Chain A
């Protein structure tokens, strides 16, 4: 039989116990307890709604900006309000809309696209979502009290430093955004592992849906691109709170250090936003062109290439800071080079359209075509601003405002609207209105160009950015008026979209049924709306567009012919497959709804919220809440049923629990440490940078007894050895060895951290003295923080051991903790080198 409507499914449900089991296993909790739900479908939906909420808020701020600038010398909005408004417009759009929105779409759609029941760590997604919501609201609240950050979304020091911004504004930014970065990292780790390890059998990497490729690059870019900002944030907050002078030119610091750290993040950030958008275009265009994506390999290489190149361009935001022109030319060339992968993608889209039997102009396709138009224009002005002489003139003018709005609207906003039109039926089971879609597209597309095209001219005619008003008669008056009119057209278009999306189509939209767009990818394999568990059974896939190449596949999935077609034990589970070839390897028991993620998120929000007001003791209490929630959360990790095999259907069984470097838990720890290491490398970069810019001050040599440093190094290595021995003993079945190893390693590590700080005390180095001494103490503090976290991990592991949850067969958590400890030892050693060796050899 075939499934073409919801009624067919109901029919099947009555006769099919497997489907019934799946439904009850994956049913969300009822009533208020629904907030416990951690399933990606639910969390993804909330995530998307929240992303659009912040988009609307940031859009309202944009409307206020355009109202103020519509006429010269306007006194509608005062300078202090205006500065908060434009800062919050940029901040909200970048940190609360663009990046989270892409994560949101991916969290919702990636498991369905990949035939997985959920993402690898559903509680991490839930925690990330709640952290994002609370952090975002926290930052927005500051606006209600007129204490919002007003230093621009780029937060340049010294304007945002303790001297020129003594208020709370920058703290809201630094801590609120820092908090949201936590959510971004959670999502990136989740997506990387989800894409690499949670695909359906048979989906080797060369058959992955193109969107998954883009999101994989996206995940790695967040993992490596956010750390410099996280470090810069920490340094600035420490400078504000404790007067450590990293950016203070009078004490050997440098305001340009902030700019380097910010743009080391900020430029990859642009592509972090653009790549998912391009991924949507590469997904939507083939569907409506009715042809497979042309040049799949080229597009994959272009996405990966963009990811690499984007880390080499950051200085093009700093052409005017006095860097020698030949150095600038290097970054100029790199900035031009990034046009090549973008060009490849545009030509791949054109070739795809050419290959099909004719384009279907449905709303998602209109948005996609609009996106190409706007993005190509933005890309070409991007070439212009990449040229050093041209940028000398247009930098920080409305020309740049026009340029990056073209790039981001074409590369992100239009694709988001395309994606929402395209994938919403998966949530509501109904298609959005084509008529309203045309209206919203027309208004947004036209309005956008009316608003932003004139800004190229406004900028060339000399109008700088971020001015709350401007004198009449300089040639900017009517251009600004036109821009404001265009902005309100965009607002009208967004309103039409929202009306349709939130209300109209849910009441009156055409029922979407089965595969309404005739798409080729797995999320459309069955009747919409999709279920919490994505697929009745996890299919075997043999091409990039399985629904096109095997028209019967959807029905076979729905009949439960493939893997995991039932759930007699009422446990949520999914399949883990090999990263490259996608062969089944393991059944993962997924967690069920729980309060711990939301409690941990509230704890985190409280922590950051209190830190804004420097209430350190209450912060410690909030940290305790996070730790307790985390331990409760992790307690049921590593389920090991007896026997350790699960019948996945088709006469096959797979292990439920495995140990080793192949597990998703180990990968998560490794990816987290990659993030951590990238932030630590940014700290080393900061030390080297300060050394190169300081002419009068060189890194002070800590004149301490050499015994301190040697002891610290020796003890750190000793701690690692003890831990290795403990883990080794566990493998041999020795419980005593398992307990003794960490218990011996812990004091050694504490002594090592103590000796590291002791060496600084002994040398009389105070962190407020100059930028280098502050950096030394940051190295020491970084190591100390890891020792603290590692201590919690150790006691957690020991508690598990005592509860009988650590055995030779269940050693994964020990392995993860051990990895963390060796990493900490590495940090201690590198810190010692940077503090004691480096100043002596330079």
Chain B
């Protein structure tokens, strides 16, 4: 069960390269941080070269003392120069810090994300203040501030989308907030940045930034309950879901008995780019593979491998889940 490149089945973007990179900023905040970083990288490199040049000069020189008296040389190079440059840098940095942490304002998209070992529970605040639940994927509108509040149900995680903003830790008993304003459409990847146990490496998610109309439509769809299956195959899949007791861990809104809170909400799992929290591309084949051998793909996660299912049931179940768009 190898990892499949998401791009092969998702024409919405061309390449994986750069979808999780600080160098590809797509928000006001990530832009500001990258601009500051670039300045500091450049200045730091320059200082490094200068210090090494001084060291080389000292080695080569035969004059037996630095260009100035020893103590003056040390006082200027080691004390005055860093004190002045660092003070300037400090002022500059505080301004950037305040800029990137300014509140999101009234019309912000409000999202609450809860970290679990090892997936993301996502709740959107709907137009009327209702909570719309999904998991392991965010959709965001362009040019509208986003406020994300985060916490954790178990251990500490850290919420990070490099293209959009810095990190914010998800800590049990604390609610932290991060705000940013996406400026460009595209698919991005986020990943847990605080070591959170066995499968920390496989705790990621996708973010889709899209025009406002598409976003509104998406949110409206997410608010709906799951569609009733029509063809027999899908009906059989739904039945398998009920028979196997999947609903005791997973919620599927609209399906009686499927109200579990232990695993991700699956009401619209078919619409998601990935499964297994950003690890597998969300194709029907991968869904079946995940159900049958989740312990092989992501050992130690809380979902048992349903390897007792026969091929037919498995295909039906995966097909039904894939149909939940």
| Contact (A256, B51) CB under 8 Å given A340-B83, A384-B37 | no
User: Please, which residues of chain A bring their CB within 8 A of the CB of B17?
Assistant: 473-475
The A-contacting residues of B in range 82-133, CB under 8 angstroms, are 82-83, 86, 89-90, 93-94, 96-98, 100-101, 117
> Which chain B residues numbered 1 to 43 have a C-beta less than 8 Å away from chain A?
2-3, 5, 15-23, 30, 32-34, 36-37, 40-41
A377 vs B51: C-alpha distance when bound (angstroms): 10
B154 sits at the interface (CB 8 A): yes
- Judging by beta carbons under 8 Å apart, are A460 and B21 in contact? yes
| A376-B48 CB under 8 A given contacts A79-B300, A473-B16 | yes
Q: What's the least CB distance linking A36 to chain B, in Å?
A: 44
Supposing A354-B65, A384-B37 touch, asked if A393 and B78 sit within 8 A by C-beta, the answer is no
Instruction: Name B86's contact: one of A339, A369, A373 (CB within 8 Å).
Output: A339
B40→A383 contact, CB < 8 A: yes
**Closest residue of A by beta carbon distance from B188:** A462
Does B227 belong to the interface (CB within 8 Å)?
Answer: no
Residues of chain A from 376 to 402 with CB closer than 8 A to chain B in the complex: 376-377, 380-381, 383-384, 387-397
Given contacts A83-B198, A460-B21, contact A383 B86 (CB under 8 A): yes
**Could you tell me if A389 and B89 are in contact, using CB atoms closer than 8 angstroms?**
no
- For residue A611, CB closer than 8 A to chain B, the reply is no
Contact with B along A451-465 (1 / 0, CB 8 A): 000000000111011
User: Interface 1/0s, chain B 158-180, versus A by CB < 8 A?
Assistant: 10101001111101111011000
Q: Tell whether A164 is near chain B: CB-to-CB under 8 Å.
A: yes
Chain B residues with CB under 8 A of A389 = 32-33, 36-37, 93, 96-97, 100, 166
- Residues of chain A within 8 A (CB-CB) of B34 are 393
Say how far B19's CB is from chain A's closest CB, in angstroms.
7
Please, how many angstroms separate the alpha-carbon atoms of A256 and B32 in the complex?
Answer: 29
Name which of A121-129, A345-353, A624-632, A820-828 contacts chain B: A345-353
* B71 contacts the other chain (CB 8 A): yes
> Given the interface contacts A380-B44, A390-B40, A394-B22, does A347 sit within 8 Å of B77 by beta carbon?
yes
Docked complex Cα distance between A369 and B189 (Å)? 42
Is B166 within 8 A of A333, CB to CB?
Answer: no
CA distance A525 to B65 in the complex (A): 28
Whether A380 pairs with B48 at a CB distance below 8 angstroms is yes
Q: Taking CB as reference atom, which chain A residue is nearest B191?
A: A464
Stretch at the interface among B54-62, B211-219, B229-237: B54-62
B197 at the interface (CB under 8 A from A): yes
Closest B residue to A164 using CB positions: B155
A72, closest chain B residue (CB):
B3
Measured between C-beta atoms, what is the minimum distance from A263 to chain B in Å?
14
B52 within 8 Å of A by Cβ?
Answer: yes
**Bound CA span A152–B194, Å:** 10
> Is chain A's binding surface mostly helix, strand, loop or mixed?
helix
B196 near A: Cβ within 8 Å?
A: yes
* Selected contact of A350 from candidates B55, B83, B279, B300, CB within 8 Å: B55
Contact, CB under 8 Å: B37 / A390 = yes
Within 8 A of B (CB), among A115-156: 150-152, 156
A393/B64 contact (C-beta < 8 A), A78-B299, A343-B82, A387-B40 known: no
Contact code string A338-382 (vs B, CB < 8 Å = 1, else 0): 011001111110110111111100000000010011001100110
Select from chain B the residue with minimum beta-carbon distance to A165.
B197
Contacts A164-B154, A344-B78, A354-B66; A395 near B21 (Cβ below 8 A): no
A254, A346, A391, A462 — which one has the most chain B CB atoms within 10 A of its CB? A462
Contact B195 A462 (CB under 8 A): no
State whether A462 touches B172 (Cβ < 8 A).
Answer: no
> Which residues of A (273-330) have their CB < 8 Å from a CB of B?
291, 294-295, 298, 302, 320-322, 325, 328-329
> Once the chains are docked, how many angstroms separate the CA of A706 from the CA of B5?
70
**A255 contacts B172, C-beta separation under 8 Å:** yes
Known: A320-B166, A333-B90, A390-B33. A350 touches B54 (CB 8 A): yes
Determine whether the beta carbon of B193 is less than 8 Å from that of A464: yes
CB distance from B167 to the nearest CB of A (A): 4
Asked if residues A392 and B166 are in contact (CB atoms below 8 Å), the reply is yes
CB–CB B70/A460 < 8 A: no
Q: Which chain B residues border A377 with CB–CB below 8 Å?
A: 48
Instruction: Report if A369-B191 is in contact (Cβ < 8 Å); known contacts: A321-B171, A340-B82, A475-B17.
Output: no
A684: interface (CB < 8 Å): no
B78, A328: Cβ atoms under 8 Å? no
Of the candidates B30, B83, B167, B279, the one having the most CB atoms from chain A within 10 angstroms of its own CB is B167
9 additional A-B residue pairs with CB within 8 Å, beyond A256-B171, A475-B16: A255-B173, A322-B176, A347-B74, A350-B66, A357-B64, A380-B48, A389-B93, A393-B37, A395-B166
